[in-house]
Amino acid sequence: GESVGLHLPTLSVQEGDNSIINCAYSNSASDYFIWYKQESGKGPQFIIDIRSNMDKRQGQRVTVLLNKTVKHLSLQIAATQPGDSAVYFCAETEKNNRLAFGKGNQVVVIP
């Protein structure tokens, strides 16, 4: 909701620059990861996913990188636009088929 972005790490990015958002996950057995975008006052939207047998996946203007050695996931947004301002969070699968969600990072695009 409106207050989701409070108390979160914030990344300020100049419009047109690339953004990198990081996520550390905890379960080395997770086989699927998702990045979500949540704009103020709205529900999360699916951006991109990646399976554990891959280390990189590209979408439109977004790339997800997976480093299983250090249990790290990153989301790269190319040519960041004002509409990219939002909270971004990762999710990983748990043993019981459920998703565990990260706390998120607030991205603020400076025009």
Binding site for other proteins (CB under 8 A): 1-8, 32, 34, 36, 41-46, 49, 89, 93, 97-104
CA 52 to chain centre: 16
Whole-number minimum distance, CB 76 to other proteins, in Å? 21
Using the minimum distance from each CB to other proteins, give the nearer residue, 29 or 111. 29
DSSP E strands in 3-104: the ranges are 10-14, 19-24, 32-38, 45-51, 56-58, 62-67, 72-77, 86-93, 99-101
Question: Which of 28/97 has CB closer to other proteins?
Answer: 97
User: Looking at beta carbons only, is 21 or 44 nearer to other proteins?
Assistant: 44
CB 27 → other proteins: shortest distance, Å?
Answer: 13
Cβ proximity to other proteins, 4 vs 77, nearer residue: 4
- Least distance to other proteins from the beta carbon of 103, Å? 5
Largest CA distance in the chain: 43
The CA distance from 73 to 25, in Å, is 7
| Residue 83 phi, psi dihedral angles, 5° rounding | -70, -10
Residue written as token pair 């997976």: 66
CB of 48 to other proteins, least distance (A): 11
